[in-house]
Amino acid sequence: MREKESELIVLDKPEETAERASDPVVEPAAGTRQGTQEPAAESSEAPVGRAEFDAVKAERDQLLDRLARLQAEFENARKRAERERVSDRDYATGNVVEQFLPVLDNFELALKSAGSAEQLRSGVELIVKQMEEVLRQMQVTPIPSVGEPFDPRFHEALGSVERLDLPDQHVAEEIRRGFRLRDRLLRPALVRVASNSKQTGE
């Protein structure tokens, strides 16, 4: 019995060998290293051709030239705008000065006159009226002050005076006139404000 068992064992071994031999052989996949599943390293980039290099260089030179032209155009436009701004300012200043030249002429005539003090005073008053008319044409108007309620937007108080004939916190005296151009304040009026003790005591 033992001999038969050994014969069977010997017979089984060649069958196993045949089965193993019949198994398909697995080849490593393309692009992988043998014995591993990692992809093989890619090959280095191909060198750039001379024609492609020249094309890229020409495009770069065109872009640099265009950038230089744009910078020059921007600088020229900035200088032109500055010249126009200065020219507009000089033109506006010239118009204003031109309107005040007759006032200056009248001041010089008043200084050259040999009249009395009263005549000189009358001449100066006429010049002041002429100057006020020029300002009015330029839409520059004086700020109302004396007798008006004190308004910190248009008045600057230099102190207060005791006045019983004016309501409290009203302008009693104008020291320097204020002016505005349309709705824009040019300078506030310097004033003294009335302090009415009768009203404050009530």
> Domain boundaries in the chain?
50-138, 140-202
Res. 4 pLDDT band, cuts 50 70 90: very low
pLDDT tens, residue by residue, 154-176: 999 999 999 989 999 999 999 99
Domain 50-138 has CATH 3.20.20.150: no
Name residues whose C-beta falls within 8 Å of residue 39's C-beta, 6 or more positions apart in sequence: 31, 32
Domain 140-202 top-level CATH class:
mainly beta
- pLDDT at site 44: 55
Nearest to 100 by CA among 139, 75, 131, 59: 131
112-to-117, 122, 131, 133, 200 alpha-carbon distances in Å? 13, 15, 19, 24, 53
Question: What H or E segment, with its residue span, contains residue 175?
Answer: strand 171-176
| 3 state DSSP class of 163 | coil
Torsion of CA 140, 146, 149, 151, to 10 degrees: 40
Share of the chain above pLDDT 90, in %: 57
